[in-house]
Homo-oligomer: A and B are copies of this chain.
Amino acid sequence: MLDELRNAARRAVDESAVRTLLRDCRRLLSERGEANSAAIARQLVDRFIALPAAGQATFFRRLASDFSPDPKRVLQSAQAYAKASTAAHLVDLMRATEPPRQELLRRINRTPGGTASIVAMRRALLARVAAEPELGAVEDDFLHLLASWFNPGFLQLRQVDWHSPAHLLEQLIRHEAVHAIDGWDDLRRRLEPDRRCFAFFHPQLPDEPLIFVEVALLPDMPDAIAPLIARGATADPPAPGRFKVAAFYSISNCQPGLKGVSLGNFLIKRVAERLQDELPQLRTFCTLSPLPGFAAWLAAGPDFAALPGLKRGGAGRLADAARLLQEAHGDDLAGLHGAVAQQAAQEDEAGREALLRLGAAYLVHATPLPKGDPVARFHLDNGARLERLNFAGDVSKKGLKQAHGLMVNYLYDLDRIETHHEMFTRGEVAHSRAVAALL
């Protein structure tokens, strides 16, 4: 009873706060706001941050309901434009169609710290939108504006190394998503002279990396992750002249509020260009990437025959491979890798081949499907080519669980990325002869 009263009281307070916040929004959008927008926007942002989650949700709903375009006015403008497609009609149509909340966000963005606030708001919004599709149009407006503001022309590429500020390196440790960095000594290994790390920054968020990529400089294309991230300074790094390969082995986003804004694609290409300038002897730009969905796909017993683009007899060969593995190892392929680790892959050469064939099929034939491997989709859509599958590339617990230890190299050939990207938009996966030979 008391609790109910208390909750009701809290709800009343929250509702009042949301009402005040909406009043701020209207004031900021008004003529008055035009003259003093920075001050009003600052206040508005402070009020939003102070709201509890429920209040923020209410606020987003009101952004959806109260700050959308007027359907009637839109229809009239569209009819006028359909009748006579003049410049004047088009300008009028666009005025009528743009949701007022876009201008609201642009005015918030005018204030110092405004951009960071909008990124934070979107983060909160993204957490809601799956459950409330009606917030989708609001989310679309946030994404539309952020994509415009975080376009790569505005981003600064900076190298991160052991001379970088500690507070920045700390964020790398925190945000590394692919191969966790276990403290400062581990980080240091990844910033040695035979390693590179680059991040994108936005002028409005000068202390916050948006996304960063870790690169290993090597004589050859790498086939396993462990040597790349092993701790301890390399006693004798190869002479710079011996580096022929730049391998992108980890790429991590730092800003959940920028989800969906294309950053990684541009980062990889800008870094490749920059490394090519710095080290003209580099011949190969590639990744060493996980296949996070492979084990789950295999465990689900895929219908090989339904895979698009198989060669003749391909489905049968895949079924044979799956059966062979199942018989020899059951669900647990650790034994297989154990053998490898003991440099005795020959003991189960057939098992090794079966696993690589299934991996190749997963990437070449299953990636283009809607639920295809996300890492593969990212690189293929960027225009990379599937170059090589690596058996026992990641024998960490996570690597064995997700992909039975397989890893993959995607190749970035800057002269051919346009062609490869286009292939992928048609549903084809560009791949090397070596991969084709597995199928």
A interface residues with partner B (beta carbon < 8 Å): 31-36, 38, 64, 68-69, 71-72, 74-75, 77-79, 81-82, 85-88, 90-91, 93-94, 97-99, 106, 109-112, 114-115, 133-138, 140, 144-145, 147-149, 151-154, 156, 162-167, 169-170, 183-184, 188, 203-204, 265-266, 269, 381-383, 417-422, 425
Write out the residue numbers on chain B whose beta carbons fall within 8 Å of the beta carbon of A68.
85, 90
Write out the residue numbers on chain B whose beta carbons fall within 8 Å of the beta carbon of A147.
106
Q: How far is the CB of A151 from chain B (nearest CB, A)?
A: 5
A111 and B153 in contact, given A69-B90, A91-B136, A203-B203 (Cβ under 8 angstroms): yes
> Which residue in B97, B134, B135, B419 is a CB contact (below 8 Å) of A94?
B97
Which are the 5 A-B pairs with shortest beta-carbon distances? A35-B421, A78-B78, A87-B137, A203-B203, A87-B136
Q: Would B74 and A82 count as touching, CB distance under 8 A?
A: yes
Q: Would A149 and B149 count as touching, CB distance under 8 A?
A: yes
User: Residue of B at shortest CB range from A98?
Assistant: B94
Q: Would B90 and A153 count as touching, CB distance under 8 A?
A: no
Write out the residue numbers on chain B whose beta carbons fall within 8 Å of the beta carbon of A75.
78-79, 81-82
Write out the residue numbers on chain B whose beta carbons fall within 8 Å of the beta carbon of A91.
136-137, 140
> Which residue in B36, B169, B421 is a CB contact (below 8 Å) of A36?
B421
Write out the residue numbers on chain B whose beta carbons fall within 8 Å of the beta carbon of A97.
93-94, 97
> Given the complex of chains A and B, what is the CA–CA distance between A33 and B383 in angstroms?
11
Q: Would B38 and A269 count as touching, CB distance under 8 A?
A: yes
Q: How far is the CB of A368 from chain B (nearest CB, A)?
A: 14
Q: Could you say how many copies of this chain the assembly holds?
A: 4
A154 and B204 in contact, given A64-B87, A74-B93 (Cβ under 8 angstroms): yes
Write out the residue numbers on chain B whose beta carbons fall within 8 Å of the beta carbon of A421.
31-32, 34-36
Name, among A31, A74, A183, the residue most crowded by chain B CB atoms within 10 Å (CB to CB): A74
Q: How far is the CB of A197 from chain B (nearest CB, A)?
A: 12
- Binding site of A, secondary structure by majority: helix, strand, loop or mixed? helix
Q: Would A32 and B72 count as touching, CB distance under 8 A?
A: no
Could you list some 7 contacts between A and B, CB below 8 A? A38-B269, A90-B99, A94-B99, A97-B97, A148-B148, A166-B169, A166-B188
Name, among A111, A203, A204, the residue most crowded by chain B CB atoms within 10 Å (CB to CB): A203
A153 and B110 in contact, given A38-B269, A91-B137, A148-B148 (Cβ under 8 angstroms): yes
Write out the residue numbers on chain B whose beta carbons fall within 8 Å of the beta carbon of A149.
148-149, 154
> Which residue in B112, B148, B165 is a CB contact (below 8 Å) of A163?
B165
User: Residue of B at shortest CB range from A191?
Assistant: B166
> Which residue in B35, B109, B417 is a CB contact (below 8 Å) of A417?
B35
> Which residue in B79, B151, B418 is a CB contact (below 8 Å) of A110?
B151
Write out the residue numbers on chain B whose beta carbons fall within 8 Å of the beta carbon of A110.
151-153, 266
Apart from A69-B93, A88-B137, A110-B151, list 8 A-B contacts with CB within 8 A. Answer: A36-B418, A74-B78, A75-B78, A78-B78, A94-B99, A94-B144, A148-B148, A164-B165
Write out the residue numbers on chain B whose beta carbons fall within 8 Å of the beta carbon of A88.
133, 136-137
Write out the residue numbers on chain B whose beta carbons fall within 8 Å of the beta carbon of A99.
90, 94
Q: How far is the CB of A187 from chain B (nearest CB, A)?
A: 8
A35 and B382 in contact, given A90-B69, A137-B91 (Cβ under 8 angstroms): yes
Q: Would A72 and B82 count as touching, CB distance under 8 A?
A: yes
